[in-house]
Amino acid sequence: MSVLNIRQAERAGARLVIGIAGVSGSGKTYTALQLAWGLANGDASKVGLLDTENRRGSLYADILKDKKGNVHKFLIGDLDAPFSPQRYIDAILEFQKAGVEVLVIDSVSHEWNGLGGVLDIVDGHAKSIHGWKAAKPEHKRFMNTMLQCDMHIIVCIRATNKTDWKDPKNPKPLGIMPIQQEEFMFEMTASMMMWDGGKQREIMKCPADLVPIFGQTGEFVEGYLTARNGLELRKWVDGGTPLDGKAEHARNTLRTHAEGGVAALNDAWASLGKDAQDALGGAIPHEIMASAEEFDRQRVAVQPGGEELADLNNQVLGDGAQATA
């Protein structure tokens, strides 16, 4: 089975992942929601907010207003601790299932250093060598879900003063930096640091086509980002080759389940419904099936015996076996 769908290169089916970092009060949430509204083509019912900030997102319930002053309501869901990568993944997929087209995550910093986040997973293995071996795959799965889901995603990232303590006798101030994995901001389609309540932004990464909207990489840009800028993003996305929306949604849904292996992929396929299955030609795309098969193969390679061994452990030791195996 081939692992690729080789075709002529076209800008089609683009899904944007945009990162906005900043200190408290820098305008991250407000800006993200405005961009999301425009990117959703002005349909607030297609905008979702995943709130990890103790319901602070609800304070923004009335900010999407048209020229007549009418309030347009978006969808919101609160994610409580533990802020494990898997719970973020589950939340993202719930919004996808709800039909959201643009998801704002406020914030992704909890996934890294919040209660139950990546750094907590590492600390939980403090007395062994398995800390990062356990945490890194979890974080990668979270990133993969963001990059492959069927929604545009705008993430808010907390920022704070950081110091390099590699030499305790000579600590080096690093300035204000995002609270996330070191390369996180460069995994985005575009990313920026927000300053002065949203009036200024420092562009960390921006592709050439989006420079007129955000600014040049390394540039400090004055002025607010608004729903109009989000609409410009939408026009850029829609300017690509038109795709069958039903087929693309089905394809992206399958991609987000391929990591679970062939069984999970088959379950996702069965849940699509006949219309969506027909839109994909009546069969799971071969490259997605190949991906699921490889995930299954890797699981067995990492732990010889794979699922059979896990099932045996559970039978002998009970449900807690996985945590100590």
Q: What is the pTM of this model?
A: 0.77
- Give the pLDDT of residue 134: 84
- Give the pLDDT of residue 324: 34
Cβ 258 vs Cβ 234: under 8 Å:
no
* Residue 287, helix vs strand vs coil: helix
Look up the CATH number of domain 17-238: 3.40.50
Cβ 150 vs Cβ 99: under 8 Å:
no
> CA nearest 258: which of 281, 282, 302, 290?
290
End-to-end CA distance of the chain: 34
The angle that helices 286-302 and 262-272 make with each other, rounded to 10 degrees, is 150
- Mean pLDDT, each 10-residue run in order, the chain (325 residues): 68 83 94 97 97 91 94 96 95 94 96 94 75 88 91 96 83 89 94 95 95 96 96 88 73 85 90 88 89 83 51 41 34
Give me the residue spans of the domains in the chain: 17-238, 245-324
Neighbours of 121 (CB within 10 A): 20
> CA nearest 187: which of 212, 210, 204, 201?
204
User: Residue 107, preceding bond cis, omega within 30 degrees?
Assistant: yes
- Give the pLDDT of residue 302: 62
